[in-house]
Amino acid sequence: MKTWMIFLLYLLPACLISQAKSITLEDVFERGTFSAKGVPHFNFMQDGLHYTRLVGSYLIKYSIVDGKEKDTLLKSGDFKELGGKMDSYTFSNDESKLLIAKQTEGIYRYSTKAEYYVYETGTKHLFRIFPDGKVMYPQIDPTGTKVAFISENNLYYQDLLTGKIKQITKDGAKNAIINGASDWVYEEEFTLTRAYEWSPSGDQIAFFRFDERAVKEFTLDYYRNEAYPEKYTFKYPKVGEANATLTVWNYHVKKNKLLSLNIGPREDDYLPRLQWTQSNQELCVTWMNRNQNHLKLILVNTVNKAYRTLLEEQNKYYIDIQDHLRFLDGGKFLWASEKDGYNHLYLYSLDGTLLKQLTNGQEEVTECYGLTPTGSKMLCQFATHDGMDRALRVIDLLTSVSTDIVPNHGYHSAQVSPGLKYLVVSSSDIKTPTQYRIVDLDGKLVRELEKNEALQKKMNDYTLSEVELMKIKNRSGIEMNAALIKPKEFVLGKKYPVFMFLYGGPGSQQVANRWNSFGYYWWLQMIAQKGYIVCVVDNRGTGGRGEEFKKMTYLQLGKYETEDQIDAAQYLGTQDYVDASRIGIFGWSYGGYMSSLCLLKGNDVFKSAIAVAPVTNWKWYDSIYTERYMRRTSDNQKGYDENSPVNFADRLKGNYLLIHGMADDNVHFQNTVEMADALIRNKKQFETYFYPNKNHGIGGVQARMHLFTRMTDFIMNKI
């Protein structure tokens, strides 16, 4: 009897495992079976005590403390112009007006245009701004009496009291001149979209004028079941080619006067940021040289047109553009820099004098969220534990003392109400889906918002493996952060194939103590349940670990990253549970570039690779991104030649799946065509899939299912 009981107890775990569900592609890409619940963005009100949210056709005001509904501010169904629909909204500073978007249309990664309406909360009057068409980047001025916007590359403003529209610029033209908005490359690489700013008193508008007439054009083909493809042509500066020329302008509303502003000697440079100080007469322009290793903050007086350099910084590698510049009361400003080897905050006076370094050490600042009303304290996010965790800390600007407000474990981020009265904190770790709660500035819990308990319960019904965080050393003895997923029914003594996923680009990070940090969690779990060990490794060049670790790939993109991934694969191959003859790798964009290099340069290590939307020679990518890390080909031909996959097509031994969206405005389909041509010239067999009319992300449920079905089949048959 005891023997049978022991036997049944032995079988019980296996029975439980056999009853667990298996993940399918339909679960991941069609049904949304494992979708985590998020918390919609909190549109905080100026009092710091309330927020608003769109609920169907209603705009509702809620209390932050208890979440109770306080008021209905707008019912879009009451207005035939809105038709019961609002895409988004923003308040004026005094909250007397709402700017409402409808029929929003995406352009590139961040840019959009839409129909916009202004709703007066007091009179409940609604009217459309610029009835002649969709506009871009409308912004109500600080007084709440005017709204500026962009139409057909020209800058306008409309008086909200009279309805009168004033066209400020008249030379805007497609693929030629842009006023107040950015071009493709500034949007993509500097995340600059709206390129104008109202002055603090609302009587001036400063803006950038882009002259892109000298920039070469690139054309995408769209296939619409017509006799000829539809062509879309836009300006795209590639490595070493002409960029748009930017000039700084200021328009005085009352004087109806448009002035060009001089910021000093210039030649082939960038102007990535435009910001007013607290003075209504002083504008701060961020200037960078083309190599992006020399930066100046230039103050321009819009009355007498005098200019001076507020701050200057040079770097032996490059300088990343950040959004941590803040002008404070008392003639001071905050600035973030990597000048001591890690990204930290510094306090300066407006005469350019460094007053103090506010943060220091190897835990660098990754986000700055906001200040208390007195400006004495600031909430920031820090990378901790070799970049694996993110901590939230309050920094006292007087004493430089920082205090953790959440446990210093896991990955924490925040949305903040004005004055830091309340924080909406998002928290997770590698095993726990994101949880959301509201706390005060001391970290005291106000209320729970979402714990994702339903998802955690559902996870118990499926064959899921734990994600193990670990360190893997490269050939130089440097430890790399890594994540490992083993099959649930892992058997000691059995040898398993390995499937590696990577991105690996400068400053990126896939491995962190964060839920779904590498982005393909459920699909990779599905691969693991099919009997593969999954491994993700953050090579040298990735972020969260200081400047030297991140910037050592300078002038040699791909070299050290590829070596590190090969070293990681070789390490895995030495483990007694790995079949070293069956190691494959997959990446997208920079990751596709890396997976291609790994298969070619590591042809004795990797059996197969999948590359989606890869760069295959950096000379085909855009100027700002590539030259930041590689300079121009005329400066660094060797760096380009030695790290471009097209130059190593002859080394292909294994299985190669090459995939691209044909309407990719970012990494052009040209990269895959040229790679295919190089492989054919070298008599190398490979597989390729392309997606008509799809951009860099190859979006849409049908395309995603098609793509990941093919990639899954490739893994099962070729690794």
Q: Distance between CA atoms of 171 and 645, rounded to whole angstroms?
A: 43
Pull the structure tokens for residue 18.
């056999």
Residue 123 buriedness (CB in 10 A; 0-12 / 13-18 / 19+): exposed
Same domain, 370 and 505: no
Cβ-based neighbours of 457, under 8 Å, separated by 6 or more: none
Going by their DSSP bridges, the two strands 97-106 and 88-91 should be labelled as antiparallel
Same domain, 603 and 699: yes
418, 451, 484 - which closes a domain: 451
Query: In whole angstroms, how far apart are CA 716 and each of 281, 586, 608?
Result: 65, 13, 11
Whether 560 contacts 568, CB under 8 Å: no
pLDDT at 15 over 60: no
The secondary structure of residue 371, as a DSSP letter, is E
* 439 within a domain of the structure (yes/no): yes
CATH number at residue 382: 2.120.10.30
Same domain, 334 and 409: yes
* 583 within a domain of the structure (yes/no): yes
pLDDT at 214 over 80: yes
Whether 154 contacts 179, CB under 8 Å: yes
Q: Distance between CA atoms of 613 and 619, rounded to whole angstroms?
A: 15
Coil, helix or strand for 259? strand
Q: Distance between CA atoms of 251 and 259, rounded to whole angstroms?
A: 6
Same domain, 627 and 688: yes
Mean pLDDT, to the nearest integer, of 38-51?
93
pLDDT at 202 over 80: yes
pLDDT at 348 over 70: yes
* 436 within a domain of the structure (yes/no): yes
pLDDT band at 655 (very low <50, low <70, confident <90, very high): very high
Please give the single-letter amino acid code of residue 704: R
Same domain, 481 and 567: yes
Same domain, 409 and 534: no
pLDDT at 59 over 80: yes
171 backbone dihedrals φ, ψ, rounded to 5° = -100, 5
Q: Distance between CA atoms of 686 and 682, rounded to whole angstroms?
A: 11
pLDDT at 1 over 50: no
pLDDT band at 9 (very low <50, low <70, confident <90, very high): very low
pLDDT band at 2 (very low <50, low <70, confident <90, very high): very low
The secondary structure of residue 30, as a DSSP letter, is I
pLDDT at 154 over 70: yes
Nearest to 645 by CA among 697, 691, 602, 585: 602
Whether 547 contacts 556, CB under 8 Å: no
Cβ-based neighbours of 198, under 8 Å, separated by 6 or more: 139, 141, 142, 148, 204, 205, 276
Same domain, 597 and 545: yes
Helix, strand, coil abundance in the chain, percent, nearest 5: 20, 40, 40
Rounded to two decimals, the pTM is 0.94
Sign of the CA dihedral running 5, 6, 11, 15: positive
Mean pLDDT, to the nearest integer, of 140-168?
97
* 697 within a domain of the structure (yes/no): yes
Torsion of Cα atoms, 571 then 577 then 581 then 582, to 10°:
-100
pLDDT at 708 over 50: yes
pLDDT in tens, 402-461: 999 998 899 999 999 999 999 999 999 999 999 999 999 999 999 999 999 999 999 999
Q: Distance between CA atoms of 48 and 669, rounded to whole angstroms?
A: 48
Q: Considering only 9-18, 397-406, 509-518, 648-657, which range has the smallest mean pLDDT?
A: 9-18
Same domain, 402 and 511: no
pLDDT band at 11 (very low <50, low <70, confident <90, very high): very low
Nearest to 113 by CA among 98, 130, 93: 130
Paired strand residues for 60: 53, 72
* 611 within a domain of the structure (yes/no): yes
Whether 520 contacts 704, CB under 8 Å: no
Q: Distance between CA atoms of 123 and 268, rounded to whole angstroms?
A: 51
* 208 within a domain of the structure (yes/no): no
Q: Distance between CA atoms of 376 and 396, rounded to whole angstroms?
A: 6
pLDDT at 693 over 80: yes
The secondary structure of residue 189, as a DSSP letter, is H
Buried b (16+ CB within 10 A) or exposed e, 67-97: eeeeeebbebeebeebeeebeebebbeeebb
456 backbone dihedrals φ, ψ, rounded to 5° = -60, -40
Same domain, 578 and 650: yes
Q: Distance between CA atoms of 79 and 76, rounded to whole angstroms?
A: 6
pLDDT at 374 over 70: yes
Quick one: angle between helices 590-601 and 559-573, nearest 10? 60
pLDDT at 3 over 50: no
Q: Distance between CA atoms of 402 and 506, rounded to whole angstroms?
A: 28
Nearest to 113 by CA among 193, 22, 33, 233: 193
Coil, helix or strand for 474? coil
pLDDT in tens, 167-176: 999 999 999 9
Q: Classify 396 in phi/psi space as left (phi over 0), alpha (psi -120 to 50) or beta.
A: beta
Same domain, 375 and 434: yes
Pull the structure tokens for residue 610.
């999948």
What is the full DSSP assignment across 616-635?
S-GGGSBHHHHHHHH--HHH
Mean pLDDT, to the nearest integer, of 261-267?
96
Whether 427 contacts 404, CB under 8 Å: no
Same domain, 535 and 669: yes
* 516 within a domain of the structure (yes/no): yes
* 7 within a domain of the structure (yes/no): no
CATH number at residue 679: 3.40.50.1820
Instruction: Measure CA of the first residue to CA of the last residue in the chain; give whole Å.
Output: 46
pLDDT in tens, 561-573: 999 999 999 999 9
pLDDT in tens, 378-390: 999 999 999 999 9
396, 427, 451 - which closes a domain: 451
pLDDT at 5 over 90: no
Whether 37 contacts 25, CB under 8 Å: no
Coil, helix or strand for 282? strand
Q: Distance between CA atoms of 137 and 181, rounded to whole angstroms?
A: 8
Pull the structure tokens for residue 170.
């008249």
How many Cα atoms are found within 13 Å in the side-chain-facing hemisphere of 416?
23
Instruction: Give the number of domains in the chain.
Output: 2
Helices (H), 682-719: 701-718
Going by their DSSP bridges, the two strands 578-588 and 496-502 should be labelled as parallel
pLDDT value, residue 19: 65
Average model confidence (pLDDT) for the chain? 95
403, 419, 451 - which closes a domain: 451
Count CB-CB contacts under 10 A for residue 261: 17
The domain containing residue 553 runs over which residues? 467-718
Pull the structure tokens for residue 149.
């916007």
pLDDT at 350 over 50: yes
Whether 504 contacts 547, CB under 8 Å: no
Whether 526 contacts 24, CB under 8 Å: yes
Same domain, 440 and 567: no
Q: Classify 203 in phi/psi space as left (phi over 0), alpha (psi -120 to 50) or beta.
A: alpha
